[in-house]
Amino acid sequence: MLATAGYFVFTETKNALQQTIRDRQSELGHQTIDKIDRTLFGYYVGIQNIADEESIQRTLSGAVQDRREIERRIKELPFLTGPWDVLKIINSQGAIIASNSRQDAEKNAEIEKNIENLAALKEAIKGNVYYSDFLFTKDTGRPTMIFAAPIRDQETADQPIIGVVIGHVAWPVIKEIIEASDPASEFDLYTRGGVLIATNQESAKHLFLKNTEIERSLSAPPHVANLIKTEADEGFEALVTRADSHGHLAYKGNQWALFIETPTSIAFAPAISTARRIVLVLLPIILFILFVILLLLSSLVVRPIVDITKVSKVIAVGDFSARVRVRTKDEIGELAISFNAMTEKMRESLNIINIERDKLAKLIESMGDSVMVIDTEGKITLWNYAAALLTGWEQKEVIGRPFKDILKLVREADRASNSDFIVRAITEKVKKSMENHTLLIRKDGTEIPVADSAAPIIDADGDVWGAIVVFRDVAKERELERLKTDFVAIASHEMRTPLTLIKGNSERLLKGESILKDAKLTEMVSSIYRNSDRLFGIVNDFLDVLTLEEKRIPLNLEHFDLVPLVHECVAEFRTFAEAKKIYLKIDDLSASHQMVVADRARVRQVMINLLGNAMRHTEKGGVRLTFEKQKNFIEVSVNDTGPGISKENQLRLFRKFGSIRETFIRSKEYGSGLGLYISKLLIEAMGGEIWLKKSSPGAGSTFSFTLRTSTDKEGV
pLDDT at 232: 46
Residues 605 and 661 both lie in one domain: yes
On average, the pLDDT of the chain sits at 80
Q: Is the pLDDT of residue 381 over 60?
A: yes
Residues 489 and 603 both lie in one domain: no
Asked if residue 446 is part of any domain, the answer here is yes
Asked if residue 31 is part of any domain, the answer here is no
Mean of pLDDT values over 100-126: 73
Residues 565 and 534 both lie in one domain: no
pLDDT at 661: 43
The number of domains in the chain is 4
Q: Is the pLDDT of residue 673 over 70?
A: no
- Establish how many alpha carbons lie within 13 A of residue 39's alpha carbon, considering only the half-sphere containing its beta carbon: 21
Which of 650, 585, 586 has its CA nearest to residue 621? 585
* Cα gap 53→50, rounded to integer Å: 5
Contact between 663 and 618 (Cβ < 8 Å): no
* Cα gap 175→190, rounded to integer Å: 12
With bands split at pLDDT 50, 70 and 90, how would you rate the model's confidence at 622? Answer: very high
Mean of pLDDT values over 160-176: 92
Of the two residues 328 and 129, the one the predictor is more confident about is 129
Give ∠ CA 710-712-716 in degrees, rounded to 5.
70
pLDDT at 592: 60
Asked if residue 161 is part of any domain, the answer here is yes
pLDDT at 437: 75
pLDDT at 486: 59
The pTM for the full model equals 0.41
What is the extent of the structural domain holding 626?
A: 553-709
Residues 535 and 612 both lie in one domain: no
Residues 559 and 694 both lie in one domain: yes
- Lowest-confidence pick of 93-102, 251-260, 313-322, 419-428: 313-322
User: Can you tell me whether residue 579 is helix, strand or coil?
Assistant: helix
The domain boundary residue, chosen from 141, 174, 207:
174
Neighbours of 22 (CB within 10 A): 19
3-state secondary structure 300-337: HHHHHHHHHHHHHHHHHCCCCCCCCCCCCCCHHHHHHH
With bands split at pLDDT 50, 70 and 90, how would you rate the model's confidence at 583? Answer: very high
* Cα gap 259→218, rounded to integer Å: 11
Asked if residue 701 is part of any domain, the answer here is yes
Residues 383 and 490 both lie in one domain: no
Q: Is the pLDDT of residue 48 over 90?
A: yes
pLDDT at 116: 77
With bands split at pLDDT 50, 70 and 90, how would you rate the model's confidence at 490? Answer: low
pLDDT digits (tens, 9 = 90+) for 303-325: 677 777 777 777 777 777 777 77
- Establish how many alpha carbons lie within 13 A of residue 676's alpha carbon, considering only the half-sphere containing its beta carbon: 20
Q: Is the pLDDT of residue 6 over 60?
A: no
Q: Decide the pairing of beta strands 622-629 and 583-586.
A: parallel
With bands split at pLDDT 50, 70 and 90, how would you rate the model's confidence at 226? Answer: very low
pLDDT at 670: 46
With bands split at pLDDT 50, 70 and 90, how would you rate the model's confidence at 289? Answer: confident
Asked if residue 293 is part of any domain, the answer here is no
Residues 107 and 122 both lie in one domain: yes
Report the percent of the chain where pLDDT is more than 90. Answer: 22
Residues 463 and 400 both lie in one domain: yes
pLDDT at 503: 61
Q: Is the pLDDT of residue 331 over 80?
A: no
Q: What is the CATH number for 636?
A: 3.30.565.10
pLDDT at 46: 92
Asked if residue 692 is part of any domain, the answer here is yes
Q: What is the CATH number for 379?
A: 3.30.450.20
Q: Is the pLDDT of residue 105 over 80?
A: no
Q: Is the pLDDT of residue 127 over 70?
A: yes
* Cα gap 586→565, rounded to integer Å: 12
The pair phi, psi for residue 632, each rounded to 5°, is -120, 10
Of the two residues 538 and 474, the one the predictor is more confident about is 474
With bands split at pLDDT 50, 70 and 90, how would you rate the model's confidence at 558? Answer: very high
The domain boundary residue, chosen from 156, 174, 192:
174
pLDDT digits (tens, 9 = 90+) for 210-221: 888 888 888 776
- Among 172-181, 336-345, 703-712, top mean pLDDT goes to 172-181
pLDDT at 647: 83
With bands split at pLDDT 50, 70 and 90, how would you rate the model's confidence at 667? Answer: very low
Residues 534 and 557 both lie in one domain: no
Residues 590 and 701 both lie in one domain: yes
Q: Judging by beta carbons within 10 Å of its beta carbon (0-12, 13-18, 19+), is residue 517 exposed, middle or buried?
A: exposed
Q: Is the pLDDT of residue 44 over 70?
A: yes
Residues 521 and 566 both lie in one domain: no
* Cα gap 125→166, rounded to integer Å: 11
Residue 535 neighbours by CB under 8 Å, 6+ apart: 495, 499
Question: Which residue spans within 170-319 are E strands per DSSP?
Answer: 186-190, 196-199, 229-233, 236-244, 257-263
Asked if residue 511 is part of any domain, the answer here is yes
* Cα gap 100→107, rounded to integer Å: 13
pLDDT at 588: 61
pLDDT digits (tens, 9 = 90+) for 184-198: 888 999 999 999 999
Residues 520 and 559 both lie in one domain: no
Q: Is the pLDDT of residue 131 over 90?
A: yes
Asked if residue 316 is part of any domain, the answer here is no
Separation in Å, CA 432 to CA 166, 409, 643: 85, 15, 33
The domain boundary residue, chosen from 547, 562, 579:
547
Q: Is the pLDDT of residue 704 over 90?
A: yes
